Chains A and B, each alone.
Chain A
Amino acid sequence: DIQMTQSPSSLSASVGDRVTITCQASQDISNYLNWYQQKPGKAPKLLIYDASNLETGVPSRFSGSGSGTDFTFTISSLQPEDIATYYCQQYDNLPPITFGPGTKVDIK
């Protein structure tokens, strides 16, 4: 099975800061990598698909990059409503689809 790691596991940043989260796959997954945002008590929301494509309606401050095994998710200017946990997900090799362990983002 493909394992996904994320770092950091949590971070605290100020409003307006640039925030970067990394995700690494245990083997090449091409660009079959998605990023989700989950707020407490809510379902996950798709933000980025296929590593770098912004889902319709998602603010442009969110972006993704990478291919192969190394991926990056960026919030260019952190906003209070971005407080959430962010998960990467690979779907190159089914089964199983696997998620990263998540990165919790807080406001400093």
Chain B
Amino acid sequence: EVQLVESGGGLVQPGGSLRLSCAASGFTFSSYDMHWVRQATGKGLEWVSAIGTAGDTYYPGSVKGRFTISRENAKNSLYLQMNSLRAGDTAVYYCARSTPGGPSDYWGQGTLVTVSS
């Protein structure tokens, strides 16, 4: 069974940093692109970052230069290092997998990040 389990969320002050993790199981992790998608309370979905099977990374302008996605295939793990956090980064963060260049077919249950003083 495919499972994606996020962790690392919590309360952080503006300007602070946080590292999210996503533990994957039930599939060959190294063969899939991985994504982070976030959702503020009551709002829509916003794609945050992606990493390909070759380690290529992609970001939208809203987080580029502040967030870093990485993966550790030996540990079946995905990470999101978030720096210079702002109130607008407050959201539930989901990790999701996709076949290379394909849709995100499995998602984790999310971890809540709250940026507040």
Taking Cβ atoms with an 8 Å cutoff, the residues of A that contact B are 1, 34, 36, 38, 42-46, 49-50, 55, 87, 89, 91, 94-102
Contacts and interface: CB of A to CB of B under 8 A. Distances in A.
Contacts of B110: 43
Contacts of A45: 107
B105 A55 contact: yes
B66 to A, nearest CB: 15
B93 to A, nearest CB: 11
Contacts of B35: 97
Contact of B47 (A50, A55, A97): A97
Contact of B46 (A34, A36, A99): A99
11 contacts: A34-B104, A42-B109, A43-B109, A44-B107, A49-B102, A91-B103, A95-B60, A96-B47, A96-B60, A96-B61, A99-B45
Given A43-B110, A95-B58, A95-B59, A87 B45 contact: yes
A49 B104 CA distance: 9
Contact of A34 (B37, B58, B103, B107): B103
A43 B44 contact: no
A42 B60 CA distance: 24
Given A43-B94, A43-B108, A43-B110, A98 B103 contact: no
Contacts, number: 57
A36 B105 CA distance: 9
B45 to A, nearest CB: 4
Contacts of B50: 94-95, 97
Nearest to B4: A43
B58 to A, nearest CB: 4
Given A95-B58, A96-B60, A87 B44 contact: yes
A-B interface, 3 closest residue pairs, ranked by CB to CB distance from nearest = A43-B107, A96-B60, A97-B47
A38 B101 CA distance: 22
Interface string B23-59: 0000000000001010000001111001000000011
A7 to B, nearest CB: 14
Interface string B89-105: 00000100000011111
